[in-house]
Amino acid sequence: MKKSLFAILVLVLAALIAVGSVTVIGPCVHADGSAAACTGTGRAILIDGCVMAALALLALLIRKPGIRIILFAAAFCAAVAGILLPGTLMPLCKMDTMHCRAVMQPAVMILSGAAAITSLTGIISEQSRSRRMKG
């Protein structure tokens, strides 16, 4: 179970990012139904969450430590991209009171930061496990 703990945590965080990006922490919605400046950012966050979830699912299914290290490293990169997406790599609405700036940006940054830390911990755990198996 301990082998899978970090993969499960990354999977849960990635699912929260992906599902949240189309529900509670999603981009702004105008009353007339038009797209806000942050709509593309919300879609990119959805894709990033799905990629992280797929990587975590593969890390959960694959048992070779070397491959799991690579999967955790890729999940770490996706999590860092998730931190940078809202507002840095992609635009958000101009007003600080808009939903994307007040809710989406901090929530995605916190969840992606937690996923990055969990992925990094998974890398360290897998490296120590592979050293124990060799030595």
Q: Is the pLDDT of residue 1 over 60?
A: no
Q: Is the pLDDT of residue 3 over 80?
A: no
β partners of residue 86: 90
pLDDT digits (tens, 9 = 90+) for 82-126: 999 999 999 999 999 999 999 999 999 999 999 999 999 999 999
Burial class (CB in 10 A: 0-12, 13-18, 19+), 94: exposed
Please report where in the chains the tokens 């890729």 appear, as a residue: 74
Q: Which band of pLDDT confidence, cut at 50, 70 and 90, is reported for residue 61? A: very high
The whole-angstrom distance between residue 25's C-alpha and the CA centroid of its chain comes to 13
pTM of the model as a whole: 0.93
SS (H, E, C) 84-101: HCECCCECCCCCCCCHHH
